[in-house]
Structure 1
């Protein structure tokens, strides 16, 4: 059961956060001793509070992400709202029951599908704009590693048209396996440019997060 006690004291997903706090307080956290440690001094209070806040925020982000995924599945397959259990089963067939607490009303799914549609339209317009010869742009890339040890690179674009209309958006997500040197990211970016039909000669500047 994914209740508060399981989340903060048992769930393996939060082991890194829990271990960090336990190293500070000197013992394993339990429902019986957590308040005792928090009341000992301000430092321990803050450390435990930050852990709890991070876990709550991450869980809420995960809940929201799942609602978008379910809305996407229903829309892509042309399924009515009544098929929501089927969509959940496709995401996580072994844990269907845990999604029953999610805000999955008809209105929520409709709103999520509308937001996804607007985002697709926005990206389509952006791609049409940046393919023009008179549009200059800059790129910022941020790299992180997912749980499969694959490097994920986010490419953000800022484009300026000849009439000084400015557009800022996430352009694409690139995946790197193996080495993640600056040269590897550059090759990945060139593939992105070819796929998006970007005119590299109009690239004004590029900013990275420090890849060698």
Structure 2
């Protein structure tokens, strides 16, 4: 054999698509009819396959006819759809995961039991079976719905992941913000346990403002100013909150917060880790004093009733 003889290179001819229903897929000849592949772009091999296995195809779809051209387009489109399923398994899995997180978030937001996830999935499947009756990709839609895992344990883990992510985002915002202010309100829950709700408003270098719910701290035992201070200080240290960025604190105006010596705010001001901050309390207490002086108690009674009604609604 001549060592200098070069190997012959074959190239795919586009005319073979209509003539033999073969296409070039990443360097391989693929038969659109049976999906067999040939490794060499050689007309003889392609024609032999077509004449041997699909001899009746010319009778059903005559050469150079519009029927044959339409069939070619349909089969190429079908092949592309099949390939897209295999090309994008990660995309499908990602979409399913996003859908699962959205359902889990909705259940948590509406305070529904984790087991309701399976009910939602079943309802979704039943409704989709009728809604997408006339859709060509109905089976794909139902398959995607079936792939969503909404068991109680799965929903619980996803809600935990959402909570962790929200905490991480809040920590990132706290590290980036220039200053922040806190708003606190202490009240009892349904089992008469004192709860301290804390909200935070952060200001950034671009003067944008972001407000978030920070934490609910349970106050076991007594709820004196020093008890609130110790619980809050422990929370700040454990979560490594940059307290030096604190600009102001707004409270509900109760004596445990506003006491001159042992109130929560007074104890914070005496703590060297707290820099100078402004303090405010609920407008009801300011207006109550004003109403006593200028005799508008009837108006204040209405304001207090409205505020307390809103607070009671938020607890439910």
Give 1 or 2 for the bigger CA radius of gyration: 2
Compute the TM-score of the two structures, normalised by the length of structure 2. Answer: 0.32
Q: Which has the higher contact order (CA 8 A, sep 6+)?
A: 1
Give the TM-score normalised by the residue count of structure 1.
0.46
